[in-house]
Amino acid sequence: MEIQKENMQHFDFLGMKDPFLLKNMGEALRRIIRAVNEREKIVIYGTCDLDGITSVSLLLLVLKYLNADVEYFISDEIDNFDMNSDIIENYIKFLGTKLIITTGCGINSISQMELCENLGIDVIVTDYHRGEEILPKTIIVDPNLRQCTYPYKDLTAVGVTFKLCQAISMYYEMKCIGNYLDLVALGIISKGVDISGENRIMVNQGMYCINYTDNYGLKALLKINGISNVNRESIYELSNRMTCSIKNKRYIDNASIIVELFTTESMDRAEQIAKYLKYEIV
C-alpha cells in the first residue's frame, strides 16, 4: 500500500491533520482495500443519534462510490455505544458479512468482538469514546485511545469517520472527498461540542459545502425547512429539528429513513422524506 505525495498534498488546503497520525489507520485502510477489491460483504454499524447517522451515511456513500458490497445497521439503543450480540449473531452473520466497520461505537464491546472473531468476521472499530486497546484481533481507530498520539482529541463520531474516509480517498485518489464535509458539519454541530481545532476546520468548510451541496437530502432539508441563510445557527436549528424527528417514533425507523435521505439519488424521494421528517415533529 502506497500513498502518493500529491494525494497527501491535496488535503493541505483543508488544514487538517494527516489521518495516518491516528493509531492503526494504515491497518484499517489495508483491511478495507482488501474488502473492496475482493467484493467482501461489509456492514457499517452505527448509532441512532444524528452524529452516528451522518457517520453511517458518509461511509456508505464513500464505499458505494468504490462499488463495495456494503450494507449498514443502526442500533436503536440511545446512549448505548456497545454492539449488540444478538444482532451480530442473528442478522449480520446471515448477510455473509466478512467485515464490520463501526462508526462512533464499539470501543468497549469486548464480548461482541470475541463473538465476531468466533464467527470469522473481522472488525474495524472507529470510535471517539475512551477505552483500552484490548479487543481481540480488532483494528481500533480512536483518538482517545491511551496509546494514540493523535494531536486533536475532540473529534466526534462523524469526525473520526471522515478521517477514515480521508485515508481511503488518498489511496483511491478520490479528489471529491472534501465535498462530504457537508454531512460532517451537520453531525458535529448536532453534538453541541466545542467548535475548535479540527472540528472548527471541518464545520467551516462544511458550511461552504452545504451552500453548494450536491447531496439531494441536504438540498431537500434546506428547501423544505425554508433555510436560505446557511450558518452555524441555522444548521444547529436544523439538527435540533432532525433530532426531534428521530426521537418522535422508534429510533431505528427514523434513523434509517434519514440515512436514506442522505444517500438517495432521487431529488423527489429526498423531498418526500424531508417533508415527512418536518411533520414528524408537529
* pLDDT (tens digit per residue) in 183-193: 999 999 999 88
- Domain harbouring 115, CATH code: 3.90.1640.30
Q: Which residue has the higher pLDDT, 5 or 167?
A: 167
Give the domain range for residue 157: 5-280
Q: What is the mean pLDDT of residues 49-77?
A: 94
Q: What is the mean pLDDT of residues 11-21?
A: 77
Q: Distances from the Cα of 183 to the Cαs of 23, 30, 95, 116, 125, in angstroms?
A: 24, 25, 27, 30, 20
pLDDT at 153 > cutoff 80:
yes
pLDDT at 10 > cutoff 60:
no
The neighbouring-strand residues paired with 41 are 69, 97
Residue 279 pLDDT class (50, 70, 90 cuts): confident
DSSP 138: -
Average the pLDDT over each of 36-50, 135-149, 160-174 and give the range with the smallest value: 135-149
How many whole angstroms separate alpha carbon 275 and alpha carbon 270?
9
pLDDT at 282 > cutoff 50:
no
If you write DSSP's letter for every residue of 66-88 in order, what string do you get? TT-EEEEEE---TT--S--HHHI
Cell numbers that stand for 184 in this block: 460532517
According to the model, what pLDDT value does residue 5 have?
45
**Cell 491497518 belongs to residue:** 27
φ/ψ of residue 28, rounded to 5: -60, -45
3-state secondary structure of 122: strand
Q: Express the helix, strand and coil content of the chain in percent, nearest 5 each.
A: 55, 10, 35
Q: Which residue has the higher pLDDT, 278 or 179?
A: 179
Summarised one tens digit per residue, pLDDT across range 117-146 is: 999 999 999 999 987 666 667 899 999 988
How many whole angstroms separate alpha carbon 62 and alpha carbon 116?
24
According to the model, what pLDDT value does residue 134 have?
66
φ/ψ of residue 277, rounded to 5: -65, -40
pLDDT at 251 > cutoff 60:
no
How many whole angstroms separate alpha carbon 180 and alpha carbon 114?
33
Domain count, the chain: 1
Q: What is the mean pLDDT of residues 86-106?
A: 95
According to the model, what pLDDT value does residue 280 have?
62
According to the model, what pLDDT value does residue 243 have?
80
Q: What is the mean pLDDT of the chain?
A: 89
The radius of gyration of the chain from alpha carbons, rounded to an integer in Å, stands at 18
